[in-house]
A and B are shown apart, each in its own frame.
Chain A
Amino acid sequence: MSHAFYIFTSYGVTALVCLMLIAWVFLDGRSRRRELAELEASGIRRRSASTGQETRKA
């Protein structure tokens, strides 16, 4: 393959950036889900969840 360095560096950088994005979104989601579960466990809920009603605009 001609110019292998340029081609594989391009694909490598792209893969690295995409994987970092995926990992960041995934880990962020996991941490937030854990925090929500901790709050729920300590008895703090959303007002709509605690009353069992969902606020909805007409």
Chain B
Amino acid sequence: MTESLAITKFSDLANPTRFLALAQRILPYMAGVTALLFAIGLTMSFTTEGDYQQGDTVRIMYIHVPAAWLSMMCYSVMALSAIGTLVWRHPLADVSHKAAAPLGAAFTLVALVTGSLWGKPMWGTWWVWDARLTSVFILFLMYLGLIALNRAMDDPSRAARVSAVLILVGFVNIPIIKFSVDWWNTLHQPASVMRMDGPTIDGEFLRPLLVMALAFTMLFFTLHIAAIRNEIWRRRIATQRRMAARLAGRGD
């Protein structure tokens, strides 16, 4: 009984009209929470101590790590939506992965640029073709490819199906990115937060990092919901214009 109620609730949410009503209600709160988290996170980022070896460059971590985490989370959200497209053929799932791609590309770009700006003073180089950096660069190219593919096709549901297949094939890159630092000898350091034996970085750096990660995650979900809403509107406009054109044709 509870399960069927949960499924009904979920399918209600998947109805675009209900989604729009929900988005209208929650977006202002989400934007408010995001702004508040950024205010706290940025204050902590610049008031906590610097590292004894890295000095103040450790502050780059508070934006680099959340952006890198989002670049992978966004792709995972797209992969879940792609399953929704291929298995349930749900139009809201199509809209979800189409709306997420530009956001993922932007956060991946931020991760690459801030990583490069951190690499120069700490490693002595802007870029190196090690497994972690290369696999994230491939992720960036995949986002760009998906955006281009979606825009190259006129029929949105056909574009969504082709994109969904490509997203799921490309998902293989996500574990490669995550474990690249363990599988290969990389200049990039191994994980120090998401570890089986717990974080290995000091609380002084962990606290601002977690607040910033939460702020970035909230920013992503706020923008994603707003972008889904925009895409639903865009499709409704296209349908209504087609309908109007048909009516006008019948009038002649």
Residues of chain A touching chain B, judged by Cβ–Cβ distance below 8 Å, are 1-4, 6-7, 9-11, 13-14, 17-18, 20-22, 24-26, 28-29, 32-33, 35-36, 39, 42, 44-46, 48, 54, 56-57
Q: Is B158 at the interface (CB under 8 A from chain A)?
A: no
Q: Are B114 and A32 in contact (CB under 8 A)?
A: no
The stretch of B144-152, B192-200, B228-236 that contacts the partner chain: B228-236
16 contacts between A and B (CB under 8 A): A3-B57, A6-B60, A6-B121, A7-B59, A13-B113, A14-B67, A17-B106, A21-B102, A21-B103, A25-B227, A29-B233, A36-B233, A39-B244, A44-B241, A46-B239, A54-B17
Asked whether, in the complex, the Cβ of B63 is within 8 Å of the Cβ of A10, the reply is yes
Given contacts A6-B60, A32-B230, contact A14 B110 (CB under 8 A): yes
| Contact yes or no, B117 A21, CB < 8 A | no
Q: What is the distance, in angstroms, from A11's C-beta to the closest C-beta of chain B?
A: 6
The 7 closest A-B pairs by CB, nearest first: A32-B233, A2-B55, A10-B114, A10-B117, A10-B60, A14-B63, A44-B244
Assembled-state Cα–Cα distance A29/B117 (Å): 34
With a 10 A CB-CB cut-off, give which of B11, B55, B229, B230 has the most chain A CB atoms. Answer: B230
Partner of B56, one of A2, A20, A21, A46: A2
Give how many B residues have a beta carbon under 8 Å from the other chain's beta carbons: 38
Q: Which of A11, A14, A24 has the most CB of B within 10 A?
A: A14
Chain B 1-32 per-residue mask, 1 if CB under 8 angstroms from chain A, else 0: 00000000001000101000000000000000
Closest to A1 in B: B56
Query: A1 — which chain B residues lie within 8 A by C-beta?
Result: 56
CA distance A27 to B106 in the complex (A): 17
* Contact A29–B56 (Cβ < 8 Å): no
Are A46 and B113 in contact (CB-based, < 8 A)? no
Tell whether B120 is near chain A: CB-to-CB under 8 Å: yes
In Å, the complex CA distance between A54 and B15 comes to: 10
Name the residue among A7, A33, A39, A56 with the largest chain B CB count within 10 angstroms: A7
Contacts of A36 in B (CB 8 A): 233, 236-237
Does B170 make an interface contact (CB < 8 A)? no
Give the interface centre of A2, A6, A33, A42 by most chain B CB atoms within 10 Å: A6
| B223 contacts A by Cβ under 8 Å | yes
A21 touching B223 in the complex, CB below 8 Å, given contacts A13-B113, A29-B229, A46-B236: yes
**How far is B234's CA from A35's CA once the two chains are assembled, in angstroms?**
9
A20 to chain B, nearest CB (A): 8
A26-B227 Cα distance, complex, nearest whole Å: 9
